[in-house]
Amino acid sequence: MALAGRDVLSVFDLSDSEIREVMDLADQMARHVRGKTDICSGKVMAALFYEPSTRTRLSFESAMQRLGGDVITCADISSSSVAKGETLADTVRIVESYADVIVMRHPLEGSAVLGADYARAPVVNAGDGAHEHPTQTLLDLYTLRKEHGSIEGAWVMLVGDLKYGRAAHSFAYGLARFKANVVCVAPQGLEMERQTLRRLERQYGCKPRQFNTLEQVMKDDDLLAAAADKSAEDTKTRAMALFDAIYVTRVQKERFPSAEAFEKAKSSYAVDLRVLKEVRADTLVMHPLPRVDELDYGIDTDLRAAYFRQAAYGVPVRMALITAILGGAGKPVGEEGWLGRQLPAADWSGRCANPNCVTAKETYAEPRFVREADGEPVLCYYCERPVENADG
């Protein structure tokens, strides 16, 4: 597969056919999730997690073990040389001499790009701050394809913290690229940010409808009309019956600038039995997990609650991804992949003002800026946030 030796830093690093190939391969890997193969025997995966993780880390580690490969990991990054002030650039350059692939999670936006720029071994982004989480998207798309039957034309509602939720950002890009219909429901202040919406529109012509509450969705005449167009009799009277999947996310407490702002946003939405009454008998309720209180425990036994199955798909999907990446040697440099690398450099000098950009902490990183097109904002190459006042 063409993914051999490549970084996966963003969903933009994968072509449509590569995503399909990973999903097809995951179907085959599903047979091996209880056993052990020798597909990656002799290979080592390093798990470099600077942020808490249960599913992503353990499913990556399980995937590599099932493939017959080995895993090295820092149980707690604060017990590594990071505590002595080692930079990210140095850490990845050391770790790559111990491993064939580096899976990395970090609280700062653009950290995976920075890591990949220094490492010759392929780097997989397992979540970089509020920015992206591309491997979660692979398993989310896989869940939709497997359980709903298709991604194309599906109606998917993204509910929750769409400002800070990296899983929701990457999933929105994945859905838009496979021509799903995306509707956003986010409490006030946690709406999807302009740069994400702009990218959805520029890249895929996708302009999601935006709501602040589920009640607004239930009362929306256009969605009701679209629901009525679907064939089944029971979809005619409820706007929520339009949706094939509801993708719920938690409020990302750790990314809020203040405890006060978090208190205001938390507990402002929940999917419970009352919501399940509004959707169809085959609508999927998805969630990247962990949940806090936005998914009622009362719906767990309903077959529509897909989130535990979704988390389980993380193993075959990550087995497929690791296999594809380790299937060859050498990391091609050039036009492909990370969108920032494909965009022309912007004529702007200064530093990125985003306090959560990796360049704010890793100050040796050379500031770089790109622009999608003339008249478009200048973006930081690492965190992809627009640079305020770059044009005046």
Point out which residues bind ligand NCD (CB under 6 A): 55-56, 127, 133, 136, 166-167, 249-250, 288-289
Give least dist CB 370 to ligand NCD, A.
Answer: 25
| Of 96 and 294, CB closest to ligand NCD | 294
| Of 143 and 235, CB closest to ligand NCD | 143
Which amino acid is residue 165, in one-letter code? Answer: G
Gap between the Cα atoms of 368 and 379, Å rounded: 9
Gap between the Cα atoms of 248 and 165, Å rounded: 10
User: Do 351 and 95 contact (CB within 8 A), yes or no?
Assistant: no
Give least dist CB 108 to ligand NCD, A.
Answer: 14
Residue 236 structure tokens: 């005619």
Give least dist CB 161 to ligand NCD, A.
Answer: 8
Gap between the Cα atoms of 202 and 372, Å rounded: 9
Other CB atoms closer than 10 Å to residue 343's CB: what's the count?
17
Give least dist CB 153 to ligand NCD, A.
Answer: 26
| Of 61 and 220, CB closest to ligand NCD | 61
Give least dist CB 130 to ligand NCD, A.
Answer: 9
| Of 246 and 390, CB closest to ligand NCD | 246
Give least dist CB 375 to ligand NCD, A.
Answer: 33
* Distance, CA of 205 to chain centre: 20
Q: What are phi and psi of 8, to 5 degrees?
A: -125, 95
| Of 136 and 181, CB closest to ligand NCD | 136
Other CB atoms closer than 10 Å to residue 227's CB: what's the count?
22
Give least dist CB 82 to ligand NCD, A.
Answer: 19
Return the closest-CA partner of residue 183 out of 145, 204, 213, 144: 213
| Of 137 and 181, CB closest to ligand NCD | 137
Residue 79 structure tokens: 């017990």
**Strands 181-185, 155-159: parallel, antiparallel or unpaired by DSSP?**
parallel
Gap between the Cα atoms of 221 and 239, Å rounded: 8
Query: What is the per-residue DSSP string for 180-248?
Result: -EEEEE--TT-SPPHHHHHHHHHHH----EEES-HHHHHT-HHHHHHHHHSSSGGGSS-GGGG-SEEEE
Query: What is the per-residue DSSP string for 194-208?
Result: HHHHHHHHHHH----
Give least dist CB 105 to ligand NCD, A.
Answer: 7
**Dihedral angle computed from the Cα positions of residues 212, 218, 224 and 229, in that order, rounded to the nearest 10 degrees:** 100
Burial of 205 (0-12, 13-18, 19+ CB in 10 A): exposed
Return the closest-CA partner of residue 338 out of 370, 293, 375: 370
| Of 101 and 295, CB closest to ligand NCD | 295
| Of 166 and 199, CB closest to ligand NCD | 166
Give least dist CB 129 to ligand NCD, A.
Answer: 9
| Of 10 and 235, CB closest to ligand NCD | 10
| Of 5 and 316, CB closest to ligand NCD | 316
Left (φ > 0), alpha (ψ -120 to 50) or beta: where does 252 sit?
beta
Give least dist CB 172 to ligand NCD, A.
Answer: 14
**Strands 284-286, 245-248: parallel, antiparallel or unpaired by DSSP?**
parallel
